[in-house]
Structure 1
Amino acid sequence: MRDNGLTGTLPCCLANLTSLQYLDISYNDFTGPLPWCLANLTSLLCLDISSNNFKGQFPVWLLNNNTKLERLYLFNNSLSGPLQLPIHPHTSLEELDISINSFNGHIPTKIGAYLPMLQILNISRNYLKGSIPSSFGDMKSLEHLDLSSNLLTGGIPEHLAMGCISLQLLALSNNRLQGKIFPTKFNLKSLLPRWLGNKSFLMEIIMSKNHLKGPIPLEFCQLESLEVLDLSENNINGSLPSCFPPSSIKQVHLSKNKLQGQLSDGLSKKGNIPDLIGTFFDLTYLILSNNDFQGEVPISLCKLSQLRLIDLSHNKLSGHIPPCLNITIVTVASDHVLSLERLVNMSLRKGETIEFTTKTRSYSYQGRILSYMSGIDLSNNKLVGAIPYKIGNLVGIHTLNLSHNNLTGLIPSTFSNLKQIESLDLSYNNLIGKIPPQLVELNNLAVFSVAHNNLSGKLPDRIAQFGTFEESSYEGNPFLCGQPLPKSCNAIESQPKDSSIVGEDNDFIDMNVFYISFVVSYIVMLLGIVAVLLINPYWRRRWFYIVELWTTSCYYFVINHLHK
């Protein structure tokens, strides 16, 4: 009866089906409380009432009577009240999902003892508070644990870290947890997808938006199957472990922490994100923004053929932008995203997102749309040098932000190849020359800014997308002219008098050439005078006479003034 638009209350006549083993009434519009008569379905193995509008408390009576029940899905309803445990331990229940409800109170301290055989437990997106019970460590078969988006406080129990030896996914994001990421003893190293056989799947640790502090434990290096690590928006400090990240990693989210060190090429240097990161060929998202990383952008990032999003913004990176920097453009959803969508009974990953700034705003991407997003954000660093023209080869990129750096040189005309780009921000640099007129070909461009540079000349024609950009896109460039700026274009106004560049985009004087020419001319003039004096005796005598006369005059002038 799944997804049939059924309404009203659930009829008690279902209780007559005493041999019923599977009941799925999810994705309908049933209301009211769950009828107690369902307790008569003692042969029931799976009950799915998710995505309805059922009200009332947690149906603990269902667990007390249906001792054979293996899977219970209650997510996305209007259930409320405390989470209750059965009278006796329920040794058959393997999967329990009560996410997206209004349950409140504390998680029962003995939950591990009364539900010992759970493999999947999702109680996310409720109003549960208090600490995480250490009895979770008694669930030896627990593979997926999602406690995210609640009001939990305290730290992560040591018994959980030591006891849950089968854990594959741990989601603790959007709580109020604090303390160390994990205690010293750490045994979560069996993150293998037994329940999907040999098919590869995302192995995830998600603990973002808490108050966790301290360094990333060395034990993370033991997680050989870890593919997603999200520790963003915490107070994590220190440097990354020398063996970090694991070789199977696909997503790294460490933004908005207090990590530091250099992005250099040594595994043993404290605080580095190693150049060897280029060997992690499956890495798709690298999010390290809002930290204190220093050094250069590792050139080894060029080796990551699956990388789609690079966010190194708001750090202290210096040096040049690697000319080989690349991202992957995806036109179809990847296998792991499709796999997630096939898990219709699991809402575990529906709330998890990747945050990335584009069009001057931070957006959250998830699901299928995430597989289409691609971009590079190196803004708010100390990068220098010219923008590599090869970036213009990233023809499918959606956003590029190089603002608030110390970049120099011209805007590459190859940027006209970025046909899919929607946001291009080059503001607050030291760029010079003209804005390439070919950029008007970028028909998908929604946000464009070159403000606060040293650009000059006429603005691109106000056609297509460029007809929508206002003065704020160009402000802070005193030698730009044309609409929408108030300055009209003429040869005098549009050229800076002290420009030091000459090239294909302007006709300004190169000051270095000027100084060299002046010195050479001066030396040539002196050598010419010496040559004339050596060749012509008459001019030589006249020269010495003038020098002698000038010297005598100066001498008597000084003597006369000294006597006075």
Structure 2
Amino acid sequence: MLTNVPGNRELSILTSFTNKRLLEEVDLSPNLLNGIFPASVGNLTTTLWRLHLPSNLIEGTIPLGLPNLTKLISLYLSSNKIKGLIPPNLGQMHSLELLYLDNNALEGPIPLSIYQLVHMYVLYIDHNMLIGSISSSINNFTSLQELDLTSNNLSSTLPPSICELKDLLKLYLRDNSFTGHLPLGLGNFATMNHMDISANKLSGKLPASLSKLQMLEYLNLSRNTFDGHIPEQLDHMLNLDTIDLSHNKLSAEIPKSLEKLQHIQVLDLSFNLLEGEIPTGGMFANLSAESFLGNYALCGARKFHVPLSLDKTERQNNSNAARVIAACTIGGSALLVFVWTLI
């Protein structure tokens, strides 16, 4: 196992290890390595299963020869200065299970060959400049547990086939330009614990199938244009500790059923079009005004900085008073008609 390169900070040092038959692991993270990937990196060894070079100063592009390392299981190139395209032949690394290309300057589309990596269970390509869409072939990742495409320039709709990834635990698609509706099959993510699809251009109503994600702990759908009401069935998601639905166009009342969510630490419903009385039971007792800012038709307790809601007695009195006024108005009108007739 190669773990250190004392006195040499050039990535070209890798060329001195080409064709080393017994070399199985290279972990040089972080070593302040600089330079570009040598084109011969694909000739390191046929037995190499782990190549970890994160948090260095590597520049240039990923060599087309890198996928020749077909025995590689773990490839970790995060937090460098790598640019250009993801190699289109990446799919020939058929043993790959963990791929970290995050926090670089990669561009272009996600190559279709990547969806041939059927053993993949962790895929992080976040914080790059990727464009294009997620292919419907994403359902080839039958073992995928973590997918992070945060902070790219990806667009188009989310393919329904993404909901076939039944082992997915973490889904991060934040800060892209995805459009359309949330796939109705979201309820298939039975074991998912983190979902962040915030800061996109998604629209439509929140599907009731969200409530089937009963292992979910973190849900962030903020900064989209979702409309309609908040599904009452969200009270089935008993493991939730964070819900962020802020900066959308959600309307109607806040479901009182959400009082059943006892583990909530963060609930952000700010800057929507919600109306009616803010519930006071359950976790709502611990929330502050920040959770409801920008919803100008809400009322409730004084601590929420909204108009005070009327208690039942006041509502009943006001209702009775309204009936009396209506009766007097009708009676007065009838009297006027009677007097006019006499004249």
TM-score (norm 1): 0.47
Distance in 2, matches of 1:235 and 1:107, equals 26
Partner residue, 1:288: 292
Contact 1:163–1:187 (Cα < 8 Å) also in 2? no
Task: State the one-letter code of the partner of 2:236.
Answer: Q
The reply to whether residue 55 of structure 1 matches residue 83 of structure 2 is yes
User: What's the secondary structure of 2:161's corresponding residue?
Assistant: helix
User: What's the secondary structure of 1:229's corresponding residue?
Assistant: strand
The reply to whether residue 153 of structure 1 matches residue 179 of structure 2 is yes
Partner residue, 1:209: 223
Change (3 A) 1:70 1:316: same
CA RMSD of aligned residues (A): 2.3
Contact 1:130–1:151 (Cα < 8 Å) also in 2? yes
Among 22, 41, 44, the residue aligned to 2:72: 44
Among 190, 199, 208, the residue aligned to 1:174: 199
Q: How does 1:343-492 map to 2 (within 5 A)?
A: none
Change (3 A) 1:81 1:14: closer
User: How many Å apart are 1:156 and its aligned residue?
Assistant: 0.3
Among 310, 316, 319, the residue aligned to 2:307: 316
Distance in 2, matches of 1:125 and 1:87, equals 19
Among 213, 235, 239, the residue aligned to 1:221: 235
Partner residue, 1:100: 127
Contact 2:219–2:244 (Cα < 8 Å) also in 1? yes
User: How many Å apart are 1:75 and its aligned residue?
Assistant: 0.7
Partner residue, 2:150: 124
Q: How does 1:233-312 map to 2 (within 5 A)?
A: 233-245=247-259, 246-263=261-278, 273-277=279-283, 287-291=291-295, 292-297=297-302, 312=304
User: What's the secondary structure of 2:67's corresponding residue?
Assistant: helix
- Where does structure 1 lack aligned partners over 5 or more consecutive residues? 193-202, 264-272, 299-311, 320-564
Distance in 1, matches of 2:115 and 2:169, equals 23
Contact 1:124–1:149 (Cα < 8 Å) also in 2? yes
Contact 1:99–1:124 (Cα < 8 Å) also in 2? yes
User: How many Å apart are 1:318 and its aligned residue?
Assistant: 6.6
Contact 1:293–1:317 (Cα < 8 Å) also in 2? no
Change (3 A) 1:279 1:75: same
Task: State the one-letter code of the partner of 1:227.
Answer: D
Post-superposition CA distance 1:398-431 (Å, at most 9, x none)? xxxxxxxxxxxxxxxxxxxxxxxxxxxxxxxxxx
Task: State the one-letter code of the partner of 1:15.
Answer: N
Larger radius of gyration: 1
Partner residue, 1:189: 213
Distance in 2, matches of 1:87 and 1:16, equals 22
**Pairs aligned (count):** 280
- Where does structure 2 lack aligned partners over 5 or more consecutive residues? 1-27, 311-343
Distance in 2, matches of 1:29 and 1:40, equals 23
User: What's the secondary structure of 2:54's corresponding residue?
Assistant: coil
Distance in 1, matches of 2:289 and 2:75, equals 37
User: How many Å apart are 1:207 and its aligned residue?
Assistant: 0.7
Distance in 2, matches of 1:127 and 1:35, equals 23
Greater RCO, CA 8 A, separation 6+: 2
Distance in 2, matches of 1:284 and 1:45, equals 47
Partner residue, 2:189: 164
Post-superposition CA distance 1:466-490 (Å, at most 9, x none)? xxxxxxxxxxxxxxxxxxxxxxxxx
